[in-house]
Structure 1
Amino acid sequence: MKIAYSPCPNDTFIYHAWAHGLVPGAPELEVTYADIDITNHWALNGEGPEVMKISFAALPWALPDYRLLPCGGALGRGCGPLVLVKEQADHQALQPADLSGKKIAVPSERSTAYLLFRLWAAAHIPDGAGEIVVMPFHEIMPAVQKGEMDAGLVIHEARFTYPTYGLSMMTDLGSWWETETGLPIPLGAIVARRDLDHHAISNWIRSSLQYAWQHPEASRDYVMKHAQEMDADVARSHIQLYVNDFSMDLGKDGYLAIETLLTRAASEGLVPAFDPAMLRND
């Protein structure tokens, strides 16, 4: 079976057991390690492997060809994207209104982080940002540090490393979302082509995750091999933050969070309108 997921620690941790033949009865995996921008592009065009990790922001485009699986993805609390700015010489904190008409770097225009940013900006930045610049996420903090960008939207391990760039956090979009809705943040979704047995695939994913939790050291070498020179402690923090009960089962709050985010985004014209019933495959 062909699958695509990112080289990030949360994905390699979850899928280590399946990828290494440790899940009884599961088919052998042919893994493509792909940044989520790539898999999002596949989702937008109805392309891609049989199973893949995409951003929930790309899900409305994918739904005609793929179904959302109830496990294996990334939702959570306290794990949202951050809006960062350069620390000021006078140590005065910049306010959201200061970003009006400014250049803001984002890692993707097809990401949950971007949807959250746009929903937040609509309520907090008068007249909106002047220019949204898409760039690889690892280039965003250096660009803000150098003053090439006025602010940056960051994700993943940047939550733990931004102070080393002399940056400060303007807002935690995850905290904003949780305060607004009381719901977890939908980040990464696992989807499978509609002609497949999604119940079986879900069971294999859950078995792989259960193995990872029962044998946390087994995946260490695999995780670090693909962690893009990430410090081992950061990788561990990354897994603890993004692999949780929602990874095992979306549950009522998970599905409600997904529907709420995408419905709000559709009302702002950020994603296509969709039938919420297609999110569930009970």
Structure 2
Amino acid sequence: MNALELNGICKTYPGFTLENISFSLPMGTITGLVGRNGAGKTTTLKSIVGTVHPDGGSVRILGQELGTNVMQDVGIVYDECCFSEILTAKNMNSVLGSVYHNWSPDLFLGQCERYGLPLNKKIKTFSRGMKQKLSIAAALAHSPKLLLLDEPTGGLDPVARGEILDDLWEFIEDGQHAVLLSTHITTDLDRIADRILILSDGQLKLDESKDVLLDEYCVLRGSPDQLDLLDRDEILGFRRNAYSFEALCKNRAAMAEKYPALVCDRTDIEQVLVLLEGSEQK
């Protein structure tokens, strides 16, 4: 069973359209959702949880239509802390325990202690990074099967980020849980993601296994006059300046053989995103 299925999700605002977004998350996987600001990541996440009502398409979570019952099995972390800032972590333990059927006070308070969060200080005194840790502790404390995370490691130092990423890996390793992680920190996805989704201007431009992306995609480099050597149908995205060009292609081994005069390098998630968003397309 897939943890999440989107089929043809559309949403139109003045000046922006989320267009026919379809993808699925298998259990036991972490999927990274990336794109520049305004690409549609947050609208996609809000469509999943029902805080935005799509104009078309469908969402299924754990095999069910969106509803209150299924949301008991979903943990959510937004890019901004959504808890009342007059509360303390201890207050939250009581409040959220009345909301979630599977809430575990021991798990929540244990995660707070592990993350170094004070239990008796008001949330308004917390830094952004501390608020993100608190949100993650709360998302994990009711034993969800699906985590939806919007910039969860924003504001965290490298050590704290590593702790969070380790927790996400442990969360899915039994094969019965899944994570959708929206982030600008592509190095986090290099480390833990199984699949990469890239949104651009409201369209899903790429849905690919991370291993395939890193092993089979490539960047061809050369001088501007060499650009005409390329078959434009093989170019997924590119950019150039007065002295050189970079072109994103698939099938690295075949490209290296076909274009021996060009430099053919492996790529990474950030570079794929940049080239797909290049100011010049084929």
Q: TM-score range by the shorter chain?
A: under 0.3
The structure in which a higher percent of residues are strand is 2
User: TM-score, normalization: structure 2?
Assistant: 0.27
TM-score, normalization: structure 1?
0.27
Between Structure 1 and Structure 2, which shows a larger proportion of helix residues? 1
Q: Which has the higher contact order (CA 8 A, sep 6+)?
A: 1
